[in-house]
Structure 1
Amino acid sequence: MKLSFTKMHGAGNDFVVIDATRAPFRPTPALLQRLTDRRFGVGCDQVLVIEAPSAPDIDFDYRIFNADGSEVGQCGNGSRALARFVREQGLSDKDVIKVRTRTSDLELVHLPDGRVRVNMGVPRLLPAQIPYTGAAGRAPLYRLVLDGEGFEFGAVNMGNPHAVLEVADVDAAPVGELGPRLQRAPAFPEQVNVGFLQIQAADRVRLRVYERGAGETLACGSGACAAVVAGRLWQRLGEKVDVEVRGGMLTIEWAGEGQPVYMTGPAETVFTGEIEWVK
């Protein structure tokens, strides 16, 4: 059978989006490999499946799948793509949309300039909430020793776990080498997304993120949120920060403890298509 899809991206973090609002759908590992493969398939960082709402106060559910078949609970750039998708497909004409992932409820707001603002929820900061087993109590910075080498990082859960390291130059950061090492560290029982943060000023940073199940992407919305939260906890950043990622610019706002994080950024449709799929 033919499976219809839409290719989208948010600041270069790209997705294959599938409308499952009318019939249940769960991609098989083989189909995920075809959809995410950049040489033999469509090509994307993650596959987004949009479903009918599971509760009366939600407009849509959506599921986020990595190329390796794993399902994750949060994707900030994907949520902006979802907002644009449902409007372009005539599924909703609301300016404010409420969606549910496996771990989070999100509020998506269409702005007049075409960008989407997302209420990403209140960050979770306790080690048990990350989860991180290397510390008994909460701290702005944690220290972890791997193979005799020590690392300091902030840890934040934005619906998925993030470790944030400050670097002097994000272009020279060892993302491809250190990212997977920290991601698989035993102290992170669910693995972790690893952010490399260069602070340029209190309102501007640069960021690269090595994501679970996807490797380095051109942008990571939840990673940008986690980086700003970490920088605020280090007393290095203000309430509103422009985050330069390799695919563009995101704006992150966080008033502080107990408050939600807001992310604003673009979402674009690239093309639509169909792919042969055998159930």
Structure 2
Amino acid sequence: MISTRRWPSSVWGKMKMKFTKMQALGNDYIYINCLNQVVDNPSKWAVFLSNRHYGVGSDGLVLILPSEKADFRMRMFNPDGTEAEICGNALRSVGKYVYDYGLTKESSLSIETLAGIRTLELTVKNGLVSMISADMGIPVLEPLKIPVDFPGDAYVEQPLKVDGRVFMATAVSMGNPHVVAFIDDVDTFPLARYGPAMEHHKIFPKKVNAEFAQVIDRNTLKMRVWERSTGETLACGTGCCVSVVGGVLTGRCERKAVVRQIGGELYIDWDAGSGHIFLTGPSERVFDGEI
């Protein structure tokens, strides 16, 4: 029996598609410039390309498209083919891609996503983007909009029983649903057990991205993430934002904090005046390819 994860025979050999693999703290995606080429059935391609044995290998597929509302539009697909609203690291990498590949000369950009329009500020050194800061908007705490099945005004520090263990959890949307629980030691935490159980918990009707965070000090958190429809990844930009939001709301950390992940550090600033949260970190091109 031929594995369904292999290349789709219906399109293999009938088209050529150029792509770029990029990573932001190990959160790696395959990026395709759709300003000059068309990708039919991107969900199917996401499944094949993301596979780390039969495909290129990635945390998902990102399409860069023209926009009538912003400078560019991005669509992103998880390794299981589902389309996600937004990803902070992928968003920042789109900024690096469009500048480094000459699609724009601007260092201030707007990007249309399913979660709305987000803005980027690019730091350029020697003609290439070295750091990207993303305005991720205002964190959403209303349960209906996250969504989480909860009758109160906000799901903050609530007991959540997952696979026999009770976590004190806070649910937030950054345009995609998240829940964060603070624990004593993220390094030894059995994420493979509790991550998928929390992702599929019945109170989250659209599933959820699950963060497990540890306080190092009031300006430093350490976090591991189980991403919805993906599994554990080395970094998650929106997950870092939510970890700081959860930390601030429960008195654990300041509004400006560094979040350490397996893949590296991201810098979070939840502005008290505007309510917007800013995500800053690097992104790198891994290689270009054609299939």
Which range, TM-score by smaller chain?
over 0.9
| Deviating more after overlay: 30-39 vs 192-201 | 30-39
Residue 147 of structure 1: CA displacement? 5.4
Query: Which residue is 2:102 aligned to?
Result: 90
Query: Which residue is 1:263 aligned to?
Result: 279
> Does residue 19 of structure 1 match 2:33?
yes
Query: Which residue is 1:192 aligned to?
Result: 208
SS of corresponding position for 2:201: coil
**Where in structure 1 are there 5+ consecutive unaligned residues?**
none
Residue 235 of structure 1: CA displacement? 1.4
Rate the CA distance shift 1:81–1:75 in 2: closer, same or farther, 3 A. same
- Letter of the 1:102 counterpart: L
| Deviating more after overlay: 256-265 vs 158-167 | 256-265
Kept in 2: contact 1:53–1:61 (CA 8 A): yes
Summarize deviations over 1:45-66 as a string: whole Å, max 9, x none. 01110100132xx100100100
Query: Which residue is 1:109 aligned to?
Result: 121
Query: Which residue is 1:254 aligned to?
Result: 270
> Does residue 237 of structure 1 match 2:249?
no
Query: Which residue is 1:4 aligned to?
Result: 18
Query: Which residue is 1:181 aligned to?
Result: 197
Summarize deviations over 1:17-72 as a string: whole Å, max 9, x none. 001123543444442222101111100001110100132xx100100100111001
Give the RMSD, CA atoms, in angstroms: 1.5
| Deviating more after overlay: 232-241 vs 19-28 | 19-28
Normalising by the residue count of structure 1, what TM-score does the alignment of the two structures yield? 0.94
- Letter of the 1:76 counterpart: G
Kept in 2: contact 1:121–1:260 (CA 8 A): yes
Residue 273 of structure 1: CA displacement? 0.3
Kept in 2: contact 1:24–1:51 (CA 8 A): no
- Letter of the 2:61 counterpart: V
- Letter of the 1:219 counterpart: A
Normalising by the residue count of structure 2, what TM-score does the alignment of the two structures yield? 0.90
Rate the CA distance shift 1:131–1:257 in 2: closer, same or farther, 3 A. farther
Q: Matched residue pairs, number?
A: 273
Kept in 2: contact 1:10–1:266 (CA 8 A): yes
Query: Which residue is 2:62 aligned to?
Result: 48
Query: Which residue is 1:225 aligned to?
Result: 241
Identity %: 36
Distance in 2, matches of 1:51 and 1:10, equals 20
Rate the CA distance shift 1:221–1:273 in 2: closer, same or farther, 3 A. same
| Deviating more after overlay: 134-143 vs 157-166 | 134-143
Distance in 1, matches of 2:142 and 2:118, equals 21
Distance in 2, matches of 1:126 and 1:91, equals 38
SS of corresponding position for 1:243: strand
**Where in structure 2 are there 5+ consecutive unaligned residues?**
1-14
SS of corresponding position for 1:80: helix
Select which of 152, 156, 159 maps to 1:140.
Answer: 156
Residue 258 of structure 1: CA displacement? 5.5
Query: Which residue is 2:3 aligned to?
Result: none
- Letter of the 2:111 counterpart: V
- Letter of the 2:238 counterpart: S
Residue 194 of structure 1: CA displacement? 0.2
Summarize deviations over 1:160-215 as a string: whole Å, max 9, x none. 01100101111011211101001101110000000010110111111111001110
Q: Give 1:48-87 correspondences, 5 Å limit.
A: 48-55=62-69, 58-87=70-99
Distance in 1, matches of 2:110 and 2:159, equals 37
| Deviating more after overlay: 10-19 vs 251-260 | 251-260
Rate the CA distance shift 1:134–1:266 in 2: closer, same or farther, 3 A. same
Rate the CA distance shift 1:60–1:133 in 2: closer, same or farther, 3 A. same
Kept in 2: contact 1:63–1:101 (CA 8 A): yes
Kept in 1: contact 2:163–2:197 (CA 8 A): no
Summarize deviations over 1:84-140 as a string: whole Å, max 9, x none. 100121111101010011112110111246210000000000111110003432142
